[in-house]
């Protein structure tokens, strides 16, 4: 049995939808105080109504330092500090390099990668004050492990998160704070549904467990990294993908 995280102060960026909402629901179910941070207020309100427990929201653009810093300070006031930062917000527009406007590259890298740095930086004063802290990044298999046409910017941002993670793990150790990453495969989220049924069917066919993941699958992996029992794990990553990265060939899946 793991030590309870009841009463811990948690931020989940991108918590209004998809995986972020799943992470928030898992933490709230364990009795944590959870703030969802995203840009769209309507979706934030809907998510707060949907999730059972001590849940509130803040409007925030994770690619903007002022916005992130204000959000973190406001959450610390409301929840009595920051114990756990789940830096999860991300976007994944699909555009091939030949067609990509450089501004789209900047948007994706700003939202997915710079945001990790900003989220960690804003929390450091609170981790230092508390003498401990936890950061969990939502990365991806796409970039760190696999590639997919149309997602060069996304892949670079997600692999970049892991480069950031390793040095951040060293720097955060002086605040007794760990940082780890969850690498989801294909998880049924609001964003993934927008990619269409054909995409989802083709993905399910290439996964040994023969189905896409649920947002809670990522929530429970994040929860593990947040427990007292995971205190000696830092700078690490866990793939949660139903085995998707394992097959050597599509034919090998037919042997199962």
Catalytic residues: 154
Sole window of 75-83, 120-128, 169-177, 184-192 interacting with ligand NAP (rule: CB under 6 A):
184-192
CA distance 21 to 32: 14
For ligand NAP, give the closer residue by CB, 17 or 153: 17
Terminus-to-terminus CA distance in the chain, angstroms?
Answer: 34
CA distances in angstroms from 68 to 3, 12, 109, 117, 215, listed in the order given? 30, 12, 16, 10, 24
**191 part of the interface to ligand NAP, by CB under 6 A:** yes
∠ CA(249), CA(237), CA(195), 5° rounding? 55
Residue from 133, 143, 160, 184 touching ligand NAP (CB under 6 A): that is: 184
Residue 164 binds ligand NAP, judged by CB under 6 A: no
The tokens for 187 are 């998880």
**Under rule CB under 6 A, how many of the chain's residues touch ligand NAP?**
31
Q: Residue 37 CB, nearest distance to ligand NAP (Å)?
A: 6
Beta-sheet pairing, 9-13 with 84-87: parallel
Is residue 43 near ligand NAP by the rule CB under 6 A? yes
Binding mask 127-156 for ligand NAP (x = CB under 6 A): -----------x-x----------------
State which of residues 29, 39, 132, 166 lies at the interface with ligand NAP (CB under 6 A). 39
The site map against ligand NAP for 90-109 (x = CB under 6 A) is xxx-----------------
Instruction: State both tokens at 167.
Output: 């040095």
Nearest residue to 211 (alpha-carbon basis) of 221, 222, 200: 200
- 10 Å Cβ neighbour count for 168? 22
Q: Distance between alpha carbon 131 and the CA centroid of its chain, in Å? A: 24
Residues that bind ligand NAP (CB under 6 A): 13-14, 16-20, 38-40, 43, 60-63, 88-92, 111-112, 138, 140, 184, 186-187, 189-192
């Amino acid at each position: 049995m793991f030590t309870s995280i009841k009463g811990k102060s948690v931020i989940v960026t991108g918590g209004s939808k998809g995986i972020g909402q799943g992470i928030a629901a898992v933490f709230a179910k364990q009795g944590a105080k959870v703030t969802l941070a995203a840009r769209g207020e309507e979706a934030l309100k809907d998510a707060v109504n949907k999730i059972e427990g001590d849940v509130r929201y803040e409007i925030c653009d994770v690619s903007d330092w002022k916005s992130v810093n204000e959000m973190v300070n406001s959450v610390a006031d409301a929840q009595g500090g920051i114990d756990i930062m789940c830096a999860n917000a991300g976007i994944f527009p699909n555009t091939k390099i030949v067609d990509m406007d450089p501004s789209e590259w900047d948007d994706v890298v700003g939202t997915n990668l710079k945001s990790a740095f900003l989220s960690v930086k804003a929390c450091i004063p609170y981790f230092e004050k508390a003498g401990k802290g936890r950061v969990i990044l939502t990365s991806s298999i796409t970039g760190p492990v696999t590639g997919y046409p149309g997602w060069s910017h996304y892949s670079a941002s997600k692999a970049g998160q892991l480069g950031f993670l390793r040095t951040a793990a060293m720097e955060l150790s002086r605040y007794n704070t760990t940082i780890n990453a969850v690498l989801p495969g294909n998880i049924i989220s609001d964003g993934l549904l927008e990619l269409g049924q054909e995409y989802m069917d083709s993905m399910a066919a290439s996964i040994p467990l023969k189905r896409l993941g649920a947002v809670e699958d990522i929530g429970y992996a994040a929860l593990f990294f947040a427990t007292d029992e995971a205190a000696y794990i830092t700078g690490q990553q866990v793939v949660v993908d139903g085995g998707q990265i394992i097959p050597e060939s599509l034919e090998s899946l037919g042997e199962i």
